[in-house]
Chain A
């Protein structure tokens, strides 16, 4: 389909690889729309948490459970990984394969650190008897935060397949598009985490007054 790049104002050479290629640029559009569906998915989980956040059913409350330490660590790991992910994109623009791979692997390691800390946090809650069976609040909490955590886990495996593809094929329109969509996904999870940190943890710990 050679009607291709007519939508784009810039001459082809100045565009990053994934946008210069007509077929790959369509995939980026599609991915943005997919992210919209994921955003609405999280919005529904946030709404459910907001509705159920006082339904303790005589079970543990946020003040009993949440501690600042692991939360700060998780936040620092995930936000840093978003930064390293951007550096990977920056290196792909410069056609530097080793640079891309190093930053991407660092991103993966930071992601693993985040998931590990979160799993540890969840296990400690369950150790205190705070299972999701206990109350509506805990069900909503574990599902919202756990959905985010499983998204990050999926992202880690996705990034691993990207590492293999980049090693094998180098920086082509297709691999750089895959890297770019992965970065969109990773930043998106970062933003969701900011909202989880603020509205789930901070607000609950300050006595549950939403804003």
Chain B
């Protein structure tokens, strides 16, 4: 018994700050259970959310999870910055510092950026293409619950067993058993494998949805730009996630079952991991940034009152970026000795990406040119993205220059570069998308004034944090450094950077306040089209009814809803009563939730090599799959009368 406890709670889970957090977690869980019981909300939670296969609700669950993960990853970042604020600082123990930069990176990429994007995929894509759900609604719920299982497993590591501590890239041989004997790396590997299955399914699901379920008349070149970017993101996921799966799986086999892939002895080859990881890792950058580009391509035309400039060039550049993203992975390790000719190839291919990206920046600016710009919060995030991404891109080209990279590799210059790209690109993108589609999700607006406060505070903090890091990189400060001596002159710049990080944290709090305030007092969106939008989702009420479209629209233009409004036919979206047919919809199911729980149990058993637990979880997985195979009762028809009643109550029925 005491042995089990010693494995579950090793010393690194018993640091004073963590004990406080653990008590906080337990208390807030108890409070949640108490509130759900008192308000009698358990049944509601189960029926409306946990067993839902509705893409709009799954989208909201992704959004809530992503915001929680943004908070966790942000706290990690603030602890890192506090440690680095002063020279010779020992605020945190050195082991905890290693754990923090590992969990910060992993959470922000896999459990914040990706689910945040999937939230917006789910919320917007079916509505934009005139579909009633995604191609595989139940698989969509499975994707979410596998992500949730992975995320929870990863997040409990600091409470139970100890966090991973080998960086988010988890290079062997440091991650091998010999150098890293705790369970932390097991948590990293198992949780990313589980979440990765979910992500792969999401990629397949959205590709199939977009390829097969568009409304009649919506040709590929009439798809909204966001739909294009999600389509290619699906393709990127399909080709990029298997290498990650293999890299993680082989490391796990080394650790749990004694194979010799990445060990130092026995003919292992750690370099193979690095190649596999970045074969995934570079396309991953575009998996998280291309959908953000898509969001900007929706937001800019709407708030400039102009159609998107150069649509075919936008499509072409997205496709070019997609293809190029597969042939640049070696630029993550120029210094590992691939030789001049290989490095030259990958340096040039990396620089080439700047061209289609530049095309896109120009097109957004030219869309605004001569337009009537409305400075809404969604638009402000886009406007802040342009300078941030420009600097990130330009410094990226610098890093792609091989001799320069030998100087800058793994320095704070690199840290500043990819934070400008990932926050300036992805985070600004998803926040822009969140403010833009919020009324469509919830039926009320986020307060614009508070949103602008959050925006200005966050963006100022953002530049104050990361611009000094470029300079620190030039001065030789390397990443993952625990502390530094006083004589190097790095102190003031680090202090500025830390202050900026706390300002960003304040910006996040204002954003949360913005959301909570608006939940109570926010303006209702009664029209369904609060921004004077251009694409089909704005033709629906906010929030959309469960079946989305009572009658599937026939599309004749790229900005279909805009054209309908212009030609005075907007009333055509009032539904003719006689045109309503029975609607085929998926039924809710407990299976995805159960599968997620089972995978969590499998994963937890594997982390500790407690095989009985793993087998119990595996039986749950098998039971779920068998249930699915024999379950033919997974969809239902909605009676046209019910649809008529619901459309009439929304004031959209034409007799």
A residues sitting closer than 8 Å to B (CB atoms) are: 1-3, 6-7, 23, 25-27, 29-30, 33-34, 36-38, 40-41, 43-45, 47-48, 51-52, 55-57, 59, 132-140, 142-143, 158, 161, 164-165, 169, 174
Contact = CB atoms under 8 A, between A and B. Distances in A.
Nearest to B241: A37
A44 B261 CA distance: 13
Contacts of B261: 48, 52, 136, 139-140, 143
A57 B267 contact: yes
Give the residue among B200, B267, B276 with the most A Cβ atoms within 10 A. Answer: B267
Interface in B265-282: 265-269, 272, 276, 279
10 nearest CB pairs, A to B: A55-B267, A136-B267, A57-B267, A40-B242, A139-B259, A44-B246, A41-B242, A30-B208, A135-B267, A161-B629
Contact of A37 (B215, B242, B272): B242
Contacts of A7: 212
Contacts of A23: 584
Given A57-B265, A136-B260, A139-B253, A161 B630 contact: yes
Give the residue among A25, A33, A55, A134 with the most B Cβ atoms within 10 A. Answer: A33
Given A30-B135, A30-B136, A48-B261, A137 B200 contact: no
A44 B242 contact: yes
Given A40-B239, A174-B632, A143 B260 contact: no
Contact of A29 (B200, B211, B241, B626): B211
Given A40-B239, A139-B259, A169-B632, A3 B552 contact: yes
A110 to B, nearest CB: 22
Nearest to A138: B260
Interface string B127-157: 0000110011000000000000000000000
Nearest to B266: A57
Given A1-B132, A136-B267, A48 B272 contact: yes
Contact of A133 (B239, B259, B279): B259
Contacts of B268: 55, 136, 139
20 contacts: A1-B132, A7-B212, A26-B212, A37-B242, A40-B238, A41-B246, A44-B242, A44-B243, A44-B279, A48-B272, A48-B276, A52-B261, A52-B269, A52-B272, A57-B265, A133-B258, A135-B260, A135-B266, A139-B253, A165-B630
B213 interface: yes
B519 interface: no
Contacts of B415: none
Nearest to B237: A37
A26 B243 contact: no
A62 B331 CA distance: 35
B501 interface: no
Contacts of A48: 246, 250, 261, 272, 276
A140 to B, nearest CB: 7
Given A26-B135, A37-B242, 4 more contacts: A7-B212, A27-B136, A40-B242, A136-B268
A33 B204 contact: yes
Given A51-B269, A136-B266, A169-B632, A34 B204 contact: yes
A30 B266 contact: no
A41 B246 CA distance: 7
A89 B245 CA distance: 33
Contacts of B200: 37
Nearest to A172: B632
Contacts of A30: 135-136, 204-205, 208
A138 B626 CA distance: 34
A133 B259 CA distance: 5
B93 interface: no
Contacts of B246: 41, 44-45, 48
A30 B254 CA distance: 33
Contact of B213 (A26, A45, A47, A51): A26
A9 to B, nearest CB: 15
B163 to A, nearest CB: 28
Contacts of A40: 238-239, 242-243
B269 A133 contact: no
Contacts of B630: 161, 164-165
B207 A33 contact: yes
B263 to A, nearest CB: 8
B485 interface: no
Contact of B552 (A1, A43, A133, A169): A1
Contact of B208 (A33, A43, A132, A137): A33
B181 interface: no
B24 interface: no
B552 to A, nearest CB: 6
Contacts of B131: 1
Nearest to B208: A30
Contacts of B216: 3, 6
B581 interface: yes
Contacts of A1: 131-132, 213, 552, 584
A174 B629 CA distance: 11
A73 B299 CA distance: 61
A26 B207 CA distance: 11
A26 B213 CA distance: 8
Contacts of B135: 26-27, 29-30
Given A45-B246, A139-B260, A143-B250, A52 B212 contact: no
Interface string B198-231: 0010011101100111011000000000000000
B260 A57 contact: yes
B611 to A, nearest CB: 17
A143 to B, nearest CB: 7
Contacts of B241: 37
B336 to A, nearest CB: 15
Contacts of B238: 33, 36-37, 40
A36 B211 CA distance: 15
Contacts of B136: 27, 30
Give the residue among A3, A45, A169 with the most B Cβ atoms within 10 A. Answer: A3
A41 B248 CA distance: 12
Contacts of B258: 132-133
Given A3-B216, A37-B204, A51-B272, A134 B245 contact: no
Interface in B521-552: 552
A120 to B, nearest CB: 21
Contact of A3 (B207, B215, B260): B215
Contacts of A2: 552, 581
A138 B136 CA distance: 39
A38 B243 CA distance: 10
A176 to B, nearest CB: 14
A189 B552 CA distance: 40
A51 B267 CA distance: 11
Contacts of B276: 44, 47-48
B62 to A, nearest CB: 20
A52 B261 CA distance: 8
Nearest to B214: A3
A45 B259 CA distance: 14
Contacts of B269: 51-52, 55, 136
A56 B267 contact: yes
Nearest to B581: A2
Contacts of A52: 261, 267, 269, 272
Contact of A132 (B215, B260, B272): B260
